[in-house]
Amino acid sequence: MKTLRSVSIVFAILLAASAAHAQAPVLRAAIPFNFVVENHVLPAGNYLLADQWLSSSSLVSFRDLDEPITSVTGSNSCYTNETPKTSKLVFRRIGNEYFLHQIWIAGENTGREFPMSKLEVQMAKNEPRAEEVIVAALLTR
């Protein structure tokens, strides 16, 4: 009886986790420039971005719809007091390089923030002024 109850509990947890994962937001964005996320350089293109929840940390997958390229990278949670009205990707431009900084979903105060890559840290030392570049994204659930 204990075994049956344990199996039922595990099954219920897995079912709830898969249901939550199925409802995770997916963003579609046309990114007009090559960009760096973590330590990966991704080409300009049409991307699907999705949260891949694993335990307490969050990974975000980037799937290029034009090329057979998929990348997964870690991100941190970030918060804003002003709820964004549109979904967007925020890049930092240093020189001619673009670095993905944050992802925001319309109507949500919590977003995803990406750590600075080694290249971004190095470039920021030489050119401390970074320009913020916004790319609109479309939410597809």
Q: Tell me, what's the pLDDT at 23?
A: 55
Q: How far is CA 138 from the centre of its chain?
A: 13
Q: Tell me, what's the pLDDT at 57?
A: 55
Give the Å distances, CA to CA, from 15 to 10, 25, 52, 60. 9, 18, 16, 22
Task: Kindly list the domain boundaries of the chain, sorted by start residue.
Answer: 25-140
Q: Tell me, what's the pLDDT at 70?
A: 87
Can you give the pTM of this predicted structure?
A: 0.78
Task: Give the bridge partners for 105, in sequence order.
Answer: none
Which tens digits make up the pLDDT trace of 70-122? 888 989 999 999 999 999 999 999 999 999 999 999 999 999 999 999 999 99
